[in-house]
Structure 1
């Protein structure tokens, strides 16, 4: 016998995942009312759906900004979607604001994703890591493995998509965006951003 699920629970799960009401109800029933288990099940389905939408053209959207307390750090971000309708949705606009705040908080982030990092930057990171004293005398195969692991870690530090969300450390930015793709039903992508630091690149003379 299937357990009775509160409509409030169904609605809460729908808001979190963007899945249909019946799908949410079935997931909760299968999980015996366990919200976390049901969320995990629907998130997997939702993320798979989001992956398909992520190849679609996104040329609408908004340019948003965030100015940190003290007005010493500011961020401009362009967040794209497929239609002006979605661009006006409060969920989309809140996502843009959260991403701008994320960029302001992550001073080592300079690129949208690791795929956007120029080859000369990557090669320079490889050179630096491969010449570090703690691995310089190790066998070549081990040295290459350590270098690759360290470079991969460094590239992720520079990539917005690979950051843990400042408001929920259990989710990466790329998965936060996928959740919104599932919720709003359109492809969403960060096209570009710019961070401004007060006094940056100003000649003191």
Structure 2
């Protein structure tokens, strides 16, 4: 017997995840109406299907600006998708606005993703960690693991996609984008961004 799911719950799950109505209903049925588990199921399925699309060419999209309250922080960002149809969609436009807000809120971010970080930057961070006194008495193999762990953590703080999403810190910005990739069936990527802070050189 299939569990009957209320349309209100399905609609709420759709608004939360951006997934289609039928997918939301099916996820709720599979998890016996457990809302949090249904979100997890949709994310797992969505991320799996989104990963297949991330290498497809995306040449349409939007350039958006965001000025933070008080006018002391400003952002310009270009987000690409595959078709003009998606670029004009309200959910895509909301995503671009949220990405711009994310950049404004992420003062340490320099790169879009960790793969963009140059090897020289990695080597410099590793050298800094090597000089720290708290590692001097550790065996070499343990010390190397600790250093790589610390450097990896630092690099994630510099990567936009690794940031906790401003509207839901339980997920990263990368997961939000992959949910939209799954929803639209198109690749979506952040092409470039600039963050302006009043008084910076």
* TM-score band w.r.t. shorter chain: over 0.9
1:31-60: CA deviation from partner (whole Å, max 9, x where unpaired)? 222222222222211111111111211111
Q: Which runs of 5+ in 1 are unaligned?
A: none
**1:18–1:46 Cα contact (<8 Å) kept:** no
Larger radius of gyration: 1
1:41 matched to 2:41? The reply is yes
Tell me, in whole angstroms, the C-alpha distance in 2 between the residues paired with 1:135 and 1:126: 13
Deviates more, 1:70-79 or 1:5-14: 5-14
* 1:182 counterpart residue number: 182
Between 10-19 and 176-185, the greater mean CA deviation after superposition: 10-19
SS in structure 2 of the partner of residue 134 of structure 1: helix
Residue of structure 1 in register with 2:10 after alignment: 10
Q: 1:56 matched to which residue of 2?
A: 56
Residue number in structure 2 paired with 1:156: 156
Q: 1:79 maps to what in 2?
A: 79
State the shift of 1:17 in Å. Answer: 3.8
Moved more, 34-43 or 102-111: 34-43
Are 2:94 and 1:94 aligned?
yes
Relative to the length of structure 1, the TM-score reads 0.91
Local SS of the residue matching 2:133: coil
Deviations 1:152-203 (A, max 9, x none): 00000100011111211100111011011112221100011111111211xx
TM score, norm. by length of structure 2: 0.93
Aligned partners of 2:142, 2:30: CA distance in 1, in Å? 47
Deviations 1:54-79 (A, max 9, x none): 12111111111111111111111110
Relative to structure 1, the CA distance from residue 68 to residue 19 in structure 2 (aligned partners, 3 Å threshold; closer, same or farther) is: closer
Distance 1:10 1:167 in 2: 21
Which deviates the most, 133-142 or 184-193? 133-142
